[in-house]
Structure 1
Amino acid sequence: MLKKFYKIIIIPYTLFLLYLMFLGMGRFQYEDNLLRIKPIISTIDFIKDTISLKVILIIVLGNIVMFIPFGFLGWIFPRFKDLKTLIFAFIPAITIVETLQYFTRMGIFEVDDILMNTFGVFLGFLIKGIIEKRFVSWIV
């Protein structure tokens, strides 16, 4: 049951996520192409420079939580049942999206986004494993 629901929802979810990454949440086209390539430091700087805890949670946790569903891709594509294969396929895909944000200036290419998004996929993969062990009859 969960696999069938996942198969139905993952494509619209992916399209919604792409919308958010390029057009949603008050996005606008930057005048310059922006690039943040210092891992972890740019996120720490963002947290230090942001007064609102709500904004910090939305951006930082959102970059992780929104990608958890991609940890379940093994339910649709058998080759992604292996974590290493899933991560090595995801990193180039999210890097392409970040690069498109850079070239369209509809976002900022951020290495930290790649790291946080990938961590979200990793968490999703772990959650998928827990669900598969505990709720075997619901998965079909």
Structure 2
Amino acid sequence: MFIPRKVWVRRAAAACLILYSACLLYWMFLGFGRTARYSQPMRYSLVPLRTIWYYLSASGKMPVSARLVNLLGNVAVFVPFGILIPAVTSRLRSAAGLAVLCIPCITALEILQMLLRAGSFDVDDILLNLLGVWAGFGLLRLLCKMRTRRL
């Protein structure tokens, strides 16, 4: 049985999206030595750009590697969503459409991290994660344009 290329790509992207989402959930709640700290209060930061500015200005107080992991890691880990979501559904092929879907999902994950005490709720993480989604989307659009020009 012949499966058209478009259908095959969509199915492969959906499988990758499910697998990557499962990995992300593991990383956010169990990976990297995370443990629930129920004896500690819930942690949160609601001031936009406070944490980002802290990491950018903490030159001597924190190793560069720790700052890069916190800033670039929050961006990089969401890049695949900007590539895979538009590949799965044709309805989400704009940066605004991706934001409408991703902001509530990322916010829910941040709230769960705080409630389960596997991390904290940080509005800057939402911003960095969305930046990662948009970076992936931009990369996908660039690749599509390059492919179209070659034909």
Q: Distance in 1 between matches of 2:41 and 2:9?
A: 42
Structure 2 residues without counterparts, runs of 5 or longer: none
Find the counterpart in structure 2 of residue 9 from structure 1. 16
Q: Distance in 1 between matches of 2:43 and 2:81?
A: 26
TM-score (norm 1): 0.88
Aligned-pair RMSD on alpha carbons? 2.1
Q: Secondary structure at the match of 1:135?
A: helix
Larger fraction in helix: 1
Q: Secondary structure at the match of 2:91?
A: helix
Would you say the 8 A contact 2:77–2:132 is kept in 1?
Answer: yes
Find the counterpart in structure 1 of residue 80 from structure 2. 69
Find the counterpart in structure 1 of residue 119 from structure 2. 107
Moved over 4 A (4+): none
Would you say the 8 A contact 2:55–2:71 is kept in 1?
Answer: no
Give identity over the alignment, percent: 32
Alignment counterpart, residue 144 of structure 2, candidates 128, 132, 135: 132
Find the counterpart in structure 1 of residue 53 from structure 2. 44
Please list the CA deviations of residues 25-66 of structure 1 after superposition, one character each: whole Å capped at 9, or x if unmatched. Answer: 121223211111111112222451752111111121010011
Q: Which moved more, 1:123-132 or 1:34-43?
A: 34-43
Q: Distance in 2 between matches of 1:55 and 1:3?
A: 37
Match of 1:11, as an amino acid? I
Q: Which moved more, 1:21-30 or 1:3-12?
A: 3-12
Q: Secondary structure at the match of 1:64?
A: helix
Match of 1:60, as an amino acid? L
TM-score (norm 2): 0.82
Find the counterpart in structure 1 of residue 26 from structure 2. 19
Q: Distance in 1 between matches of 2:102 and 2:53?
A: 24
Alignment counterpart, residue 67 of structure 2, candidates 49, 53, 56: 56
